[in-house]
Amino acid sequence: MRLVEQLSSTARESVLKRLILGQDRWDAMLDYGAAKMRSLCAERGIDWDRLTEDERLNLIDTILHEK
């Protein structure tokens, strides 16, 4: 686990895909989550695709801790 945590986010995603059975389901979940985040961002006037990974994580943290 410690080794996986040291990987880049792209590499971690690759490891997870290999570990999870039903990669199509994983891809569908990622697509759904990305679409939801783009929609939430559009409502707030934010361009999800222009955010850095740190900005995305901060935004997700903010959304999770709202009301």
Give tens-digit pLDDT for 24-50: 788 888 899 999 999 999 999 999 999
Q: How many beta carbons lie within 10 A of that of residue 60, not counting itself?
A: 13
Confidence of residue 18 (pLDDT cuts 50, 70, 90): confident
Task: Tell me the pTM.
Answer: 0.60
Q: How many beta carbons lie within 10 A of that of residue 48, not counting itself?
A: 18
CA–CA gap between residue 7 and residue 20 (Å, rounded): 17
45: left (phi over 0), alpha (psi -120 to 50) or beta: left
Residue 44: both structure tokens together: 């707030």
Q: Which pLDDT value is given to residue 15?
A: 87
Q: What's the gap between Cα 50 and its chain centre? A: 14
Residue 58 confidence (pLDDT) above 90: yes
CA–CA gap between residue 5 and residue 32 (Å, rounded): 24
